[in-house]
Amino acid sequence: MAVSFNDKDIYNQKFNPRAHLDRYYSSKDGALVNDKYLEFVLKQLAKTFTAGVVEGETLIDIGTGLSIYQLLSACEVFKEIIVSDYSALCRQEFEKWLKKHPGTFDWSPVVRYVCDLEGQSEKSTQKEEKLRQRVKEILKCDVTQSQPLESSLPLSADCLLSSLCLEAACKDHDTYRRAIKNISTLLKPGGHLVMMGALEDTYYTVGDHRFSVLFYDAGFVRNALTGAGYIIKDFQVCPRPKDSAHSFSDYKGFFFVVACKETSSLTVLERIPIYGNPSFENSNQLNCGALKVSNKAIEPEERGTTGLLMPQDDNYKPEQNNGFNIAPGALPDW
């Protein structure tokens, strides 16, 4: 009998964030440590945030849970970090870490590893403190809503980060595609989405409770991102090791992606050919007058000839196709 996808409120009732960390991130025998997920993503994150390509003032982490590993390199770049989760328990527990309550999860081996990757071994004692100072807010988030964050102010980030969240929150592929669009409303045009997720996975367990995961492959994630108006800059896959025998989850691997939100949301609907059309002889409309556009994301095959030279332009040649190229992201604001 097919098992239905759990309702999101399970994360307010049955998800024990501390048990989640102990099972998956413990330095002794955490499943995601043994399966090399942590090593894989920490290397990718260190590379991404030290390269200077992904930068800015504000970063929003979506579906943080009680994890900080994904923020350790980012806190060297972003001055303001907002963490968020659907589960009230996760948000409360995160606040305890922020306020240094005794008995919180020991991230020190992970922090030391990241400092080594960044060539700053001597700074490992300061890094966790630096991250605490960068975290400005802990907000309620629901990726299935068109306005995913509960905030009194409209938020607009330079970077969105999300690890292992969307596949836990979305019951089907359409919901996942919509969730990408929902969270993208929080990202400035030209900003970056950095996301990690499980591939070909159907469940994971915390304690003795089983949580649903949306099954998808790498091609599906890539299409969901380009369909939502992203340009993929980096896409890496880490397969599950062959000797990984635990049954806490049935993932086959993980992906890491860096994608840039396109700066224009216009798309060409129709090209109106002009070959020295005399009606344009005295036109003072330049270049774009012959295009009909919509505010849908630009499909890859539509990028290219998005302008036409007019009779009054220097390089205009009568009786020739005067189409020219504008690079993706360089379209004017019409």
Ligand X SMILES: C[S@@+](CC[C@H](N)C(=O)[O-])C[C@H]1O[C@@H](n2cnc3c(N)ncnc32)[C@H](O)[C@@H]1O
Q: DSSP characters for 243-285?
A: T----SB---EEEEEEEEE-S---EEEEE---SS-GGGTT---
Q: Interacting stretch for ligand X, rule CB under 6 A, among 84-92, 128-136, 235-243, 322-330?
A: 84-92
The type of residue at 89 is L
Q: Which of 16, 50, 144, 305 binds ligand X (CB under 6 A)?
A: 144
Contact 85, 91 (CB under 8 A): yes
Which of 110, 114, 160, 168 contacts ligand X by CB under 6 A?
168
Contact window for ligand X (CB under 6 A) among 64-72, 182-190, 267-275, 314-322: 64-72
Q: Which is nearer to ligand X, 117 or 183 (CB)?
A: 183
Nearest to 264, CA basis, from 326, 177, 328, 307: 328
Q: How far is the CB of 85 from ligand X (least distance, A)?
A: 5
Report the C-alpha gap between 307 and 322 in whole angstroms.
Answer: 8
- Alpha carbon 110 to its chain's center: 22
Q: Residues 71, 81, 90, 187: which binds ligand X (CB under 6 A)?
A: 90
Residue 27 beta carbon to ligand X: minimum distance, rounded to whole angstroms: 15
Per-residue binding string, ligand X, 2-21, x by CB under 6 A, is ------x--x---x------
**Which 122-141 residues touch ligand X, going by CB under 6 A?**
141
Q: Which of 273, 278, 275, 284 is nearest to 313 (CA)?
A: 284
- Strand-pair partners of 281: none
65 binds ligand X (CB under 6 A): yes
Shortest distance, CB of residue 318 to ligand X, whole angstroms? 58
Whole-number Å distance between alpha carbons of 177 and 224: 5
Contact with ligand X (CB under 6 A) among 35, 85, 118, 262: 85
